[in-house]
Structure 1
Amino acid sequence: MRLGVLLCLLLLPALAQGEGRYLVGRLVALEPQGGVAQVEVGGRRLPALLPVDGGQYRLGQRVVLYQEGGRTYVTEPDRIPWLLGLLGLFAFLAALLGRGKGVRGLVGTFLSLLVVVYFVVPRVAAGGNPLLYAFLGSLGVLLLTVYLVHGVNRKTTAALLGTLASVALVLLLALFFTRALGFTGLASEEALLLRQWGGVDLVSLFLAGVVVGALGALTDVTVTQAAVVQALAHANPRFGLGELYRRGMEVGYDHMGSLVNTLVLAYAAGSLPLFLLLTKDPTPLRFLLNTEPFAAEMVSMVLGSLGLLLAVPFTTLVAAWAFQGGKGGPPEAHSHPH
Structure 2
Amino acid sequence: MKKHYSFGITLIVLTFTLLFCLYSKIYADELSSDKDIREHYSKAMEDTDYIIFKAKVLEIEYDDTAEKRNVSLEADIRYQHLKIEILDGSHKGETMTIRHTIERIMPGYYIFKAGDKLLIRATEDNGKIETVKIQEKVRDTQVYLIVGLFVTLLLIIGGIKGLKTLVSLVIAVAMIFFGYIPLIIKGVSPILASLGISIPVVIITLIIISGKNIKTFVAIIGTSLGVIISGILAFIFGNFAHLTGLADDSSISLAYIPQFRNLDYKGILFGTILIGAIGAIMDVAISIASALYEINDLDKNISKKNMIISGMNIGKDMMGSMSNTLILAYVGTTLHLIILFIVYRIRFTEIINLDSIATEIIRAMAGSIGLIITIPVTVVIGTAIYKKKKA
Q: Which TM bucket (shorter chain)? A: 0.7 to 0.9
Match of 1:208 in 2: 271
Aligned-residue offset at 1:317: 1.3
Secondary structure at 2:135 match in 1 = strand
Give the distance between the partners of 1:292 and 1:14, measured in 2 at CA: 33
Of stretches 289-298 and 51-60 in structure 1, the one that deviates more from structure 2 is 51-60
Match of 1:39 in 2: 84
Q: Which blocks of at least 5 consecutive residues in structure 2 are unaligned?
A: 1-41, 64-77, 87-91, 104-108, 125-129
Q: Structure 1 vs Structure 2: percent identity of aligned residues?
A: 22
Is residue 324 of structure 2 the alignment partner of residue 239 of structure 1? Answer: no
Match of 2:66 in 1: none
Counterpart selection for 1:28 from 35, 52, 58: 58
- Which amino acid is 2:161 matched to? K
Counterpart selection for 1:65 from 120, 123, 127: 120
- Which amino acid is 1:27 matched to? V
Q: Which blocks of at least 5 consecutive residues in structure 1 are unaligned?
A: 1-12, 329-338
Aligned-residue offset at 1:15: 10
Secondary structure at 1:239 match in 2 = coil
Match of 1:335 in 2: none
Q: Structure 1's 241 and 25: CA in aligned 2 closer, same or farther, altered over 3 A?
A: same
Match of 2:184 in 1: 124
Match of 1:307 in 2: 370
TM-score, scaled to structure 2: 0.76
Secondary structure at 1:214 match in 2 = helix
Match of 1:97 in 2: 157
Q: Structure 1's 289 and 21: CA in aligned 2 closer, same or farther, altered over 3 A?
A: farther
Aligned-residue offset at 1:272: 0.7
Give the distance between the partners of 2:51 and 2:263, measured in 1 at CA: 26
- Which amino acid is 2:79 matched to? G
Aligned-residue offset at 1:21: 2.5
Is 1:240–1:325's contact at 8 Å kept on the other side of the alignment? Answer: no
Give the distance between the partners of 2:80 and 2:131, measured in 1 at CA: 13
Matches within 5 A, 1:76-225: 76-197=136-257, 198-225=261-288
Match of 2:316 in 1: 253
Give the distance between the partners of 1:275 and 1:155, measured in 2 at CA: 42
Give the distance between the partners of 2:357 and 2:96, measured in 1 at CA: 44
Aligned residues: 316
- Which amino acid is 1:232 matched to? I
Aligned-residue offset at 1:288: 2.1
Aligned-residue offset at 1:221: 1.0
Give the distance between the partners of 1:131 and 1:21, measured in 2 at CA: 37
- Which amino acid is 1:175 matched to? F
Aligned-residue offset at 1:289: 2.1
Give the distance between the partners of 1:56 and 1:130, measured in 2 at CA: 42
Is 1:162–1:314's contact at 8 Å kept on the other side of the alignment? Answer: yes
Q: Deviations over 1:184-225 (max 9, x none)?
A: 111011111111122421000111011110111111111111
Larger Rg: 2
